[in-house]
Amino acid sequence: MLFDMTRLLIAIGLLIIFTTVIGLWNWAHLRIVRIRSRHRKWPMEVWNGKATLLYFSTKNCVVCKYQQAKEIEKIRETFSPDLLDIKKLDALEQPELAKLFGVMNVPTTVIIDGQGNLHAFNANLAKAKELTQQITGSIGACEPVRQKAILDPDKTEQVVIVGSGPAGWTAAIYAARAQLAPLVFVGAGDKFMIPGGQLMWTTEVENFPGWPEGIEGPALMEKHQEQALHWGTRVMETDIVNIDASKRPFELTDSDHNLVKAQAIIIATGARARWLGLENEERLARSGGGVSACATCDGPMPIFRNQVVAVIGGGDTALEEALQLTNFASRVHIINITPELTASQVMCDRARDNQKIEFHFNKTVVDVIGEDKVDGLRIHDVSDNTESTMPVKGMFVAIGHIPNTDFVKDIMELDEHGYIVIKKAFRTNTSVDGIFAAGDVIDSNYRQAITSAGTGCMAAMDVERWLQRSHVALV
């Protein structure tokens, strides 16, 4: 009898635990659904009951203008207007809408389905396209026709160029004029790396020969591209993710799983922004909470207007970012780990002359404070080992770049910082016979557009001579 009672009590206990767990799960689930459906009635100007993609940008956002806007056009061509409304909005001109949708940096894509549920808050248009396909139930009509049309699986390319900064385009111009019919992989693009390369993030380029009054970085890269296309360069809008260097011809795989064969390859993939590596830094950068590596793109956003912000770093990029931010922020703190700036004299002078800029030397950031948005920084003074808090509403990281060599790290020699090792002075040969490299990806010293263009030219000429010497069968 006693034994039966114990069993009954255990069964009742288990039942209570089970129902509690189910109840909690349901509560959490309903809560998620409630949050997602919170704004079933959106303003008529943005949603009229049809699946809608809202694309927030600003006039100053180069990545919006030159790269992401093209992606939006692809989505527009893919989905008929009956299925999907697409609205481009300027986050600065329509701050109420930007606020309503929680937009904190640009570009930001928001998708609302036919029932008014909010499905995405992101800057990743590849994801946006996937979500749109789920929401509209359509895979669309316009798959990347251009890419399929130019790729012939039976063909072996004479030279494939990976990257589309000054090095890549210059290599393409030379290779195309040498009748090598180059195929350039310009990169798929993301928030920190875009076709056209690093100059797409800057405004005036005043030191590229041939432009006495200066030229905007993106405009300069458009000119490079125009010249390369003029001579017959073909383009793929994807990343190269793998190179099989054990095979001849080489086999390259792109981010759309296309396989391309090539006799010779030029790597011109440049570099990307370096982060501090703090947990909260990454979280607040990903959520658009006020951490950024691009003042040109995010500096003009309302959350930074008349606010105190910080720039981390002491080189040219850091000072350029700080000067740009003085147009929007009330104060800009430059936090630099070394006792002196490492930027060029002209940039140091400009920054020192600006009353809004304040310098903090021998200091580094050890944590970013804030739940949804940056509220401050925890600062470590390396000279006396003390810690302090600095209240800021934004943090812009400008501490250098990482060479984009992940996809070749297993097949060729890299230096301790990840730059491709060039085997001989004034040549562009890598440790793999038939693979050449140019631009910032081989150069941790000069890192200029003109030096990149110069080595791009050298790489194309090296390829031409290598192909002639190697007597490889050209198709």
Give the binding site for ligand FAD (CB under 6 A). 162-168, 185, 187, 193-199, 201-202, 205, 207-208, 239-240, 268-271, 317, 320, 404, 407, 439-441, 447-450, 452
Q: Which of 113, 239, 254, 298 is catalytic?
A: 298
Tell me the C-alpha distance between 75 and 78, whole Å: 5
Tell me the C-alpha distance between 153 and 213, whole Å: 46
Write down the least CB distance from residue 300 to ligand FAD, Å: 15
Answer yes or no: 457 catalytic. Answer: no
Answer yes or no: 294 catalytic. Answer: yes
Q: Which is nearer to ligand FAD, 292 or 404 (CB)?
A: 404
Answer yes or no: 348 catalytic. Answer: no
Write down the least CB distance from residue 146 to ligand FAD, Å: 16
Write down the least CB distance from residue 60 to ligand FAD, Å: 13
Q: Which of 61, 64, 294, 457 is catalytic?
A: 294
Write down the least CB distance from residue 214 to ligand FAD, Å: 9
Other CB atoms within 10 A of residue 215 CB: 19
Tell me the C-alpha distance between 92 and 60, whole Å: 10
Burial degree of 274 (CB within 10 A; 0-12, 13-18, 19+): middle
Q: Which of 297, 440, 443, 462 is catalytic?
A: 297
Burial 16-45 (b: 16+ CB within 10 A, else e): eeeeeeeeeeeeeeeeeeeeeeeeeebeee
Tell me the C-alpha distance between 449 and 444, whole Å: 13
62 Cβ partners below 8 Å, 6+ apart? 200, 201, 217, 218, 296, 297
Write down the least CB distance from residue 229 to ligand FAD, Å: 16
Q: Which is nearer to ligand FAD, 111 or 438 (CB)?
A: 438
Q: Which is nearer to ligand FAD, 45 or 406 (CB)?
A: 406
Determine the 3-state secondary structure of 19 from DSSP: helix
Q: Which is nearer to ligand FAD, 272 or 378 (CB)?
A: 272
Phi, psi of 52 (to 5 degrees): -135, 135
Burial degree of 87 (CB within 10 A; 0-12, 13-18, 19+): middle
- Residue (of 169, 156, 200) closest to 438 by Cα position: 169
Q: Which is nearer to ligand FAD, 196 or 249 (CB)?
A: 196
Catalytic residue IDs: 294, 297-298
